[in-house]
Amino acid sequence: MQPETRYAKSGNLHIAYQVIGKGPIDLVFIPGMVSHVEFQWEEPGQARFFRRLASFSRLIRFDKRGWGLSDRMEGIPTIEERMDDVRAVMDAAGSEQAAILGLSEGGPIGIVFAATYPNRTSALVLWSSFASMIQKGPDHPWGWAAEEMAEPFIEMLEKNWGKGLFAPYFVASKAGDEAFQEWWRRFERLSQSPGMAANAYRMNLNIDIRHLLAAVHVPTLVLHPTNDISFDTGKYLADHIEGAEFVELEGADHFGWHDPNVANELERFLTGKQQPLDAERMLTTVFFMDIVGSTERLAESGDRHWRERLEAYHSLVERNLGEYRGRLIDATGDGVMATFDGPGRSIHCACAVADEMQRFGLEVRAGLHTGEVELRGKGIAGMAVHIGARVCGLAGGGEVLVSSTVKDLVVGSGLRFDDRGVHRLKGVPDEWRLFCVQR
């Protein structure tokens, strides 16, 4: 008998989830391209796999927004929104801290979650996953040569979704099993529509989280089948996450539910002695904002009038920080520094403040960057802070300027950007491509 399906509220959407098992650790399973929390129990191999995980954990499974039994949505979800769904499901299930298991496209979500919420992540397991599906030069020569080269494949995927054409790739060991093939055809159709599947693959092509791997500081296990065509992407993850353990699995099943070694490796890794958690570093979006020409405005208006305008400005900023879940770090004069656990929310917050300030006859500028920071009491430090400040310094009046890191993480959000080219930021290594948010 399968567990009860419940719903967690994530924003305005309902996320379907199930909890099974009473083990000493919570294990959140982020699924891949196909999922349906109820129908998957009808396939014997998956039912055995889930019960095996529940024998040593409290297993929390869910359907991502737009998938399975969860609410449908317009457009393509961002990694930030998907990360919100993980947190919402954990909250609904009463899980303060959990090991995160990300399968295939669930891996990048798990990576961003573990880096953003290290205090809620006891361990991270990446299974048949990737940091990018596109070739990125000598450092990452695997995957599609360019996004547009994958379009014929996406058109084929959309045309044939629900016909079982992709079962041999996802579960190669079941290629000759007709009963499984028929089940898989229904699985595809129940997971999502053809158009949603095509859009999801397009979104995956835009994922590039290579620069975030160094921000993961929880114990990490990378599992990848040796004969899977994406094997090198798994090895890349293990090579670039500090202290990560890499385990090669036999066979070519991208979704290796039927391989008992997967559950065996998970149990060994998750129930053994773990390294202490480094909770003093975390991934965050750093937000800087100030008023353009503040010195001149002060001279024009006088001290008293300017103080009143500053008070109104700071009140406006604090109200919007509260609305978009930002955390105020410092406010000195007209300068504001804050952090956000999601880059999309930081952009919307900055745009809201900029738009309202224009109605007061003042222009602000904002600079945003997502990176790893050091927690120092109530403050933060690290290179990401310097980058955010430098980005803000290059913004013009009324502009919200972001680093390429921020832009990459909001793919699928509908936000649009103007390319402002490559810049060298004072005191910061390397060159950085910057983008201005269109409003």
Residues 40-77: pLDDT tens digits? 999 999 999 999 999 999 999 999 999 999 999 887 78
Residue 312: what pLDDT? 84
State residue 276's pLDDT score.
Answer: 46
CATH number, residue 90? 3.40.50.1820
Residue 168 pLDDT grade (very low, low, confident, very high; cuts 50, 70, 90): confident
Residue 328 structure tokens: 């105020």
- In sequence order, which residues have a C-beta less than 8 Å from that of residue 363 and are 6 or more positions away? 291, 292, 293, 354, 357, 397, 398
Match 């079962």 to its residue by tokens. Answer: 167
Kindly state whether residues 238 and 300 are assigned to the same domain.
Answer: no
Please indicate, yes or no, whether residues 253 and 298 belong to a single structural domain of this protein: no
Answer yes or no: is pLDDT of 274 > 60.
Answer: no
Tell me what pLDDT residue 338 has.
Answer: 96
Do residues 331 and 224 share a domain? no
Is residue 277 within 8 A of residue 118, CB to CB? The reply is: yes
Mean pLDDT within 303-320: 83
Residue 194 dihedral angles phi and psi, to the nearest 5°: -55, -45
Q: Are residues 87 and 225 in the same domain?
A: yes
Q: Return mean pLDDT, the chain.
A: 91
Q: Does residue 278 have a pLDDT over 80?
A: no
Number of domains observed in the structure of the chain: 2
Q: Average of pLDDT values for 312-322?
A: 91
298 and 367 fall within a common domain: yes
* Same domain, yes or no: 258 and 384: no
Cβ distance 306 to 165 under 8 Å?
no
Task: Give the list of residues 6+ apart from residue 288 with CB closer than 8 angstroms, or none.
Answer: 335, 336, 337, 366, 367, 368, 388, 389, 391, 392
| pLDDT for 41 | 96
Do 127 and 166 lie in a common domain? Answer: yes
User: Roughly how many angstroms between the first and final C-alpha of the chain, as a whole number?
Assistant: 51
Residue 1 lies in a domain: no
Q: Does 301 share its domain with 172?
A: no
Edge to edge, the sheet with strand 13-20 lists 6-10, 13-20, 58-62, 26-30, 98-103, 121-127, 220-225, 245-249
pLDDT at 56: 95
Q: When comparing pLDDT for 392 and 411, which is higher?
A: 392
Q: Are residues 404 and 422 in the same domain?
A: yes
- Strand, helix or coil at 112? helix
Angle CA 175–181–182, to nearest 5: 165
Please tell me the predicted confidence (pLDDT) of residue 301: 62
Q: Which of 34-38, 134-138, 147-151, 229-233 has the highest mean pLDDT?
A: 34-38
Tell me what pLDDT residue 411 has: 85
Domain end among 245, 271, 297: 271
**pLDDT tens digits, one per residue of 130-162:** 999 899 888 888 888 888 888 998 999 999 999
Q: For residue 426, with 0-12 CB atoms within 10 Å meaning exposed, 13-18 middle and 19 or more buried, which class applies?
A: exposed
* 435 DSSP β-pair partners: 402, 419
Per-residue pLDDT at 222 exceeds 70: yes
User: What pLDDT does residue 275 have?
Assistant: 45
Q: Judge whether residue 34 has pLDDT over 90.
A: yes
What's the Cα-to-Cα distance from 361 to each of 92, 110, 242, 357, 366, rounded to whole Å?
44, 43, 49, 7, 17
- Whether residue 205 lies inside any domain: the answer is yes
Confirm if 406 and 369 have CB atoms less than 8 A apart.
yes
In a domain, 276, yes or no: no
> Which domain, by its residues, includes 427?
281-437
Q: Which two tokens stand for residue 426?
A: 């004072």
According to DSSP, the residues that pair with 144 across neighbouring strands are 134
The pLDDT-based confidence of 355 (bands split at 50, 70, 90) is: very high
Spatial CB neighbours of 177, under 8 Å, sequence gap ≥ 6: none
Domain ends where: 271, 302, 328?
Answer: 271
Q: Is the pLDDT of residue 177 over 90?
A: no
Q: Looking at residues 262-288, what average pLDDT do you find?
A: 80
Kindly report, residue by residue over 415-434, the tens digit of the pLDDT.
999 999 999 998 888 889 99
How do strand 335-340 and strand 326-332 relate by DSSP bridges?
Answer: antiparallel
Higher per-residue confidence, 164 vs 322: 322
**What's the pTM value of the predicted model, to 2 decimals?**
0.85
Q: Is residue 406 part of a domain?
A: yes
Question: What is the average per-residue pLDDT within 162-185?
Answer: 88
- Domain-terminating residue out of 252, 271, 290: 271
**Confidence class for position 165, pLDDT limits 50, 70, 90:** confident
Q: Tell me, yes or no, whether 358 lies in a domain.
A: yes
Tell me, yes or no, whether 231 lies in a domain: yes
Contacts of 43 (CB under 8 A, 6+ apart): 180, 183, 187, 257
Q: How far apart are CA 189 and CA 35, in angstroms?
A: 10
| 168 and 287 in a common domain | no
Helix, strand and coil in the chain, % to nearest 5: 40, 25, 35
Report pLDDT for 295: 63
Q: Look-up: residue for tokens 């996802």? A: 170
